Copies of this chain bind each other. A is one copy, B any other.
Amino acid sequence: MLRALPNIKDQEQGGVAVVVNLESERARARTSLDALTALVSEDMKRVNALIVQKMHSPVALIPQLAGHLVAAGGKRLRPMLTLAAARLCGYRADRHIGLAAAVEFIHTATLLHDDVVDESELRRGQSSANAVWGNKASVLVGDFLFSRAFELMVQDGSLSVLGILSHASAVIAEGEVLQLTTTNDTTTSETAYLDVIRSKTAQLFAAASRIGAVVAARPKAEEEALDGYGLNLGIAFQLIDDVLDYSARQAELGKTIGDDFREGKITLPVILAFRRGSEEERQFWQRTVEAMEQRDGDLARAIDLINKHGAMRDTIERARHYGAIARDSLGIFPDGNEKRILLDVVDFCIERAY
């Protein structure tokens, strides 16, 4: 089935009433994950049940702490990618359930470890899990979930999947360490930043998508297509995440913004604003995110500078570029419901910037 995407030219030439209807329908699809959620909803119920089951431990603190994260309930985007990719590949059996749970466990472990507060960072804001239970519990429960992920993969029995996800885990850790070395460094290049997000975020999107083709025993070309889809989707997703942290609109919606700024994380909006800024503006960035001397009103000024230099707009443009690659990666798959939904996920990841 060809996608009913309203053509911009049509819109310019009139026929507005029809276009508006199509467009509003498309806009709904674009700005939510509803279609993806509906596609995998039965599978996802089983994944969630498996997650609860495998989180169990006689050591009560483990399900307590892990349950805190699971109940907080993120978008579950990564396991949904595994489930949807498996369906795109025509897979009809059960293995994708356990592997989607493994993907979510790896993601949750990464979150727990990412939230560990450094000694030097204690003065700054703390995230929830380790604020309640402490650094050490977060680390150890993360290790437990990570080990459980590998147990789930061993149960599945595919060395290919084990290879893909153990490699992804190593690359994620490398990306996180690389990010440590760029934190508080305003001279970080766009290339170095992209290396970080390609590793720390996009690698798991790629692996999660790829294993959908592996369980379906599809040819290497389809594995690689899904890997390329996930990788580029993940880069776009992270770019937009970094944009949202400086978004005045998010603040209006009551969302917390400015976390990256307060932590001195050097993301693309800052890199662009710094490079395009005056000497005085660079001194502002050096004081706030390098020397970490932050005062009231600094976040507002950071947002002003980022907007003034078009750094939000251009970061979104970069995200569109990777989104376009993600879309084209799926080109080798025949059109159909699953493909359309996966293409819409790309739109969702980018359109949520607005």
Contact = CB atoms under 8 A, between A and B. Distances in A.
Contacts of A282: none
A308 interface: no
Contacts of A135: 116-119, 135
Task: Determine chain A's interface SS by DSSP, over half rule.
Answer: helix
A117 to B, nearest CB: 6
A180 B137 contact: yes
A174 B59 contact: yes
A76 B160 CA distance: 30
Contacts of A59: 174, 177-178, 181
A61 interface: yes
Interface stretch (A92-100, A149-157, A231-239, A315-323): A149-157
Contacts of A60: 181
A260 to B, nearest CB: 15
Nearest to A167: B151
Q: How many interface residues does chain A have, given as a range? A: 35 or more
Interface string A24-64: 00000000000000000000000000000000011111100
B173 A143 contact: yes
Nearest to A183: B136
A271 B162 CA distance: 42
Contacts of A151: 163, 166-167, 170
A146 B146 contact: yes
Contacts of A61: 177, 180-181
Contacts of A62: 174, 177
A139 B162 contact: no
A134 interface: yes
What are the 7 A-B residue pairs with the smallest beta carbon separation, nearest first? Answer: A147-B170, A144-B173, A147-B169, A150-B166, A143-B173, A118-B134, A118-B136
